[in-house]
């Protein structure tokens, strides 16, 4: 073999060797090749736990977030409930204090009113006792008066018909009731004995100015009885309590006088 032929063969062998190496390298890089390695599959498997871990981490974060939100809502609800309870308690205390204050004021007002009544009652009783002594020591003419019993506010009175009047010879009985604020209000004086008089009604009421709007605390029962006696002696037809009798007194004086005397004999003797 010549030198040229030998070099040509060596070149062919070298070329074939390179081609074989290239084929082996290509076969090792092919993933479907039976002899190929499986690193990509291992990387895929290792990536799955990472993904799962990431998912678990997200889920954990989400759960933590939900728990935090729930705890926050629970805390908010608890705070709101506590605040509401506190407000309700304050409102209840305020209402209780208000009611207690009103009750206390009402009680004080009632106590003052009761005290005022007791004071007025005491003042009236003292005044009546004083007048009773005066009536006993210096009674008005043709009149007498005294308490009916143990009640110092309930009196009885007797008036003798004035001499020369239509009621002469008659004995007239009266009821006297003192108010508890006497002498700031007049006593109530009524005839118990029937009498024919234009200023005295059938129920015993008397039309006398000092027993109404002309009353004054300076007046006394003694002066009231004297005024009643004066009314029997001289009636007032211009301010009658029984208009029919007043008209009869003005227009038919004789008829009027006759009836007055007749009633006196019938009811007052």
Annotated catalytic sites, by residue? 207
- 238: which DSSP letter? T
Residue 56, token pair as written in the block: 């678990």
CA–CA gap between residue 198 and residue 37 (Å, rounded): 148
| Residue 148, φ and ψ in degrees, nearest 5 | -75, -30
| Residue 32, φ and ψ in degrees, nearest 5 | -90, 0
Q: Which residues pair with 190 in a beta bridge?
A: 175, 205
CA angle 104, 108, 112 (to 5 degrees): 170
Q: How many residues does the chain have?
A: 269
């Amino acid at each position: 073999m010549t030198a040229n032929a030998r070099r040509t063969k060596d070149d062919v062998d070298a070329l074939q060797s390179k081609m074989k190496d290239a084929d082996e390298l290509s076969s090792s890089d092919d993933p479907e090749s039976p002899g190929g390695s499986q690193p990509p599959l291992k990387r895929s498997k290792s990536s799955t736990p990472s993904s799962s871990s990431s998912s678990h981490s997200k889920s954990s974060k989400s759960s933590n977030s939900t728990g935090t939100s729930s705890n926050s809502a629970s805390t908010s609800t608890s705070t709101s409930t506590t605040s509401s309870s506190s407000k309700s308690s304050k409102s209840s205390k305020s209402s209780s204090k208000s009611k207690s204050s009103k009750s206390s004021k009402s009680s004080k007002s009632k106590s003052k009113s009761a005290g005022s009544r007791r004071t007025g009652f005491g003042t009236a009783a003292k005044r009546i006792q004083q007048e009773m002594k005066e009536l006993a020591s210096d009674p008005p003419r043709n009149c007498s008066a005294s308490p009916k019993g143990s009640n110092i506010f309930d009196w009885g009175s007797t008036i003798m018909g004035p001499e020369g009047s239509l009621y002469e010879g008659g004995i007239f009985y009266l009821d006297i009731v003192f108010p508890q604020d006497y002498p700031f209000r007049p006593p109530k004086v009524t005839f118990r004995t029937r009498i024919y008089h234009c200023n005295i009604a059938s129920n015993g009421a008397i039309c006398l100015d000092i027993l109404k709007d002309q009353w004054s605390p300076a007046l006394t029962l003694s002066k009231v009885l004297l005024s009643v006696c004066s009314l029997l002696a001289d009636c007032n037809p211009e301010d009658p309590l029984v208009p029919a009798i007043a008209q009869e007194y003005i227009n038919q004086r004789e008829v009027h006088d006759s009836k007055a005397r007749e009633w006196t004999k019938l009811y007052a003797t």
